[in-house]
Amino acid sequence: MKENLKKMISYYKPYKRVFFIDMFFAIMASAIALVIPLVVRYVASNVGKMDAKDAVKQLIIIAIVVGALILFQCYCNYYIANYGHVMGANIEYDMRAEIFAHFQKMPFSFFDDQKVGQLMSRITSDLFDITELLHHGPENLTISFIKILGALAILISINAKLALAAFVLVPFMIVYAYFFNKKMKQTFRMNRIKIAAINEQIEDNLSGIRVVKSFANEELENKKFKIGNDGFLQAKKNNYKYMGGYNSGLTAFTTTINLLVIIVGGVMIIKNMVGITDLLTFLLYINIFTDPVKTLIDFTEQFQNGYSGYERFRQILNIEPEIQDKEDAVDMNNVKGRITFEDVSFRYNDNEHRVLKHINLDVKAGSYIALVGSSGAGKTTLCNLIPRFYEVSDGKIMIDGKDIRDVKLKSLRDNIGMVQQDVYLFAGTIFENIRYGRPDATREEVIEAAKEANAYDFIMSLPNGFDTDIGQRGIKLSGGQKQRLSIARVFLKNPPILIFDEATSALDNESEKIVQQSMEKLAKNRTTLVIAHRLSTIRNAEKILVLTENGIEEEGTHRELIEKHGIYYELYKMTEI
């Protein structure tokens, strides 16, 4: 916890000037609040004994001084509410940028084990609560302690015995608060887990809403959601049970303190040990004392919310990316595209079974290689190792004779273009999605890339051409149209190495033919690896590799492998009948 708090405090560093001014004004506002009852005491004790002329003069002076203090207090509170909140918003901005940038560094293996709803929770609701704590926490604590300690010091100076009566219950209040604090911390942590689970379920449902409706399973989804929602409600109930005990108990304590001061003060007045003016002053200060107690109640909830969110925030930031640049990593320049696998093996973190075993492969620059094999043989995994989406477990992969682990990740991936079966298009326009391949490209270059990918004609037939909004994940486009946009993106990127991962397997025959033409045009004079489901699409490959769980079991041209009557021949018969 100590380490977490130190790191949390470090976020104030860029805004320390605003922070210290905020704290100064919080102190000033609290000090002025402590002065007002003393003014009341002075007026009640002294002004009433003066003659009318002096009394009026004294009241005018008091009105001017106190009026000036009130105006200053007003500005103090304005600064705290305005600039203090802006500081909190800036810290939230910094933290959101930090965790988002961290997500971008994480490898595929991280996202394999995470759920989008849980990650979204870290970057939205968690951060809001953290920054509310970072903004309000210090000033609330400062105001509360100044008021409590200031009230105690003033009351002791007025009458120590009555002050003792006013604060005799405080130790019991602290013990009571400690017990409920502990319970609330547990329930707040559980709330975080439950709300993240709900976010995850909502994201999953909305992403798959078309599947839900196609199976008419709305009622099933409602029932699944109800389970998570019920869990959150129960966690909230436990939370409010302890919060209710905390609030009601402390309110009872503060009311009892008032009662105790009245009783003890009444007895002391009877015995001429204290004056009515002093008792009135005591009661005013007791009210000043109860306000920060209520503030501390709010701070307790705020701290539990904010700190439990910060723990979850740090959990993510503390995960070091498995795949990152070496200190002496270099850029790749003038890439020819020769790819070499030397005794490469790979297994996923949670699986002792090796997906790839002892793969040795030499792909010449500019060659067209096809990968085939049954589902689960590791074709996609093998291709994902080249741009280092995953790290090899054993062996090494080289491009132009250089180990890819010695190359900067951005430089490596800038030289590789991927077209996948499951095309991901971002919400926005066609132009924006194609230009994603090279964000600094001109409009003319984007249009040229679309022409190369056989996408220009269909784009121009749309209502707004390149400025047509394609909806979430390109839902307004057909499968073939989406695939041609993804190819246009790679044309724009213009990399020396291409990977096609079953890019046509989900398309109808007409779309497949158009996309196949685009792919062949793109592959010209580039090193190309094609993962094929329909084997008829790779007949012209220079070399076909047949991958099984034992590694590369067959290789050769289409004709050579057919004549061999081996694994490829059997696969061809199954897929082409």
Residue 339's SS3 state is strand
Q: Which two structure tokens, joined as six digits, stand for 210?
A: 């078309």
Q: Scan for tokens 């056989």, then name that residue.
A: 454
**CB-based contact 135:306 (threshold 8 Å):** no
> pTM value?
0.69
**CB-based contact 34:288 (threshold 8 Å):** yes
Q: Scan for tokens 């094929």, then name that residue.
A: 532
Q: Which two structure tokens, joined as six digits, stand for 70?
A: 């009130």
**Residue among 510, 517, 434 nearest 479 (CA):** 510
Helices (runs of H) and strands (runs of E) counted in the chain:
20, 10
Residue 505's SS3 state is coil
Distance of alpha carbon 240 from the chain centroid: 27
Q: Which two structure tokens, joined as six digits, stand for 143?
A: 């105001």
Q: Tens-of-pLDDT digits for all 577 residues of the chain?
A: 677 788 888 888 999 999 999 999 999 988 888 888 888 777 777 776 777 777 888 888 888 988 999 999 999 999 988 998 889 889 988 988 888 888 888 877 777 777 776 777 777 777 888 888 888 888 888 888 888 888 888 888 888 888 888 888 878 877 887 777 777 777 877 777 777 777 777 777 776 776 676 667 778 778 878 887 888 788 788 878 888 888 788 778 878 888 888 888 888 888 888 888 888 888 788 777 777 776 776 687 778 778 888 888 888 888 888 888 888 889 988 889 899 999 998 887 655 556 788 889 898 998 888 888 877 778 888 888 999 988 888 899 999 999 999 999 889 988 988 888 777 888 788 899 899 888 888 999 999 888 888 888 888 998 889 998 887 777 788 888 888 888 888 888 888 998 888 766 656 666 667 777 777 777 788 898 888 777 767 777 888 888 887 788 888 888 888 888 888 888 777 765 4
Which domains, from first to last, does the chain contain?
2-317 (1.20.1560.10), 339-576 (3.40.50.300)
CA atoms within 13 A on the CB side of 262: 8
> Quick count: other Cβ atoms within 10 Å of Cβ 463?
7
For Cα atoms 388, 392, 393, give the angle at the middle one, nearest 5 degrees. 155
> Quick count: other Cβ atoms within 10 Å of Cβ 140?
19
DSSP strand pairing (551-556 vs 402-403): unpaired
CA distance 522 to 495: 10
Residue 469's SS3 state is strand
Q: Where do the DSSP E strands lie in 347-480?
A: 356-363, 368-372, 394-399, 402-403, 416-420
CA atoms within 13 A on the CB side of 91: 28
Q: Which two structure tokens, joined as six digits, stand for 167?
A: 């604060």
How far separated are the first and last CA of the chain, in Å rounded? 65
CA distance 363 to 529: 9
Phi and psi (nearest 5°) for 270?
-60, -40
